[in-house]
Amino acid sequence: MKKPAKGPTTNGILTLRHIAEALSEAHELPKRQVNEMMTQVIDFIAKSLKKGEKIRLSGLGILQVRKRAARMGRNPQTGEPVKIKASKKIAFRAAKDLKESI
């Protein structure tokens, strides 16, 4: 197994394409195959989050859906109170090792 290539990123942003290219080179697999696998992983994670499951990625962190309660907010232009509906959000909590390594 070769070391992953350190390819240039776009404006300092590492994209799925960059990751797929690095994995493709490191494992000597076709880029198309790695791209499909990465897409399937992301689809699986999205489906699991929709079901309300936590996703624990060792060394990276935990993804989970958190419920936000309804609350009162303010219209910034008028200052008028506005009711904000309850909602859900995706939360990420970084693993301790990752936090310490940065």
Asked if residue 10 has pLDDT above 60, the reply is yes
Judged on CB neighbours under 10 Å (0-12, 13-18, 19+), 21 is middle
Angle CA 35–48–98, to nearest 5: 70
CATH of domain 54-101: 4.10.520.10
Task: Taking residues 79-101, report their average pLDDT.
Answer: 94
> Start-end ranges of CATH 4.10.520.10 in the chain?
54-101
* 11 band by pLDDT with thresholds 50, 70 and 90: confident
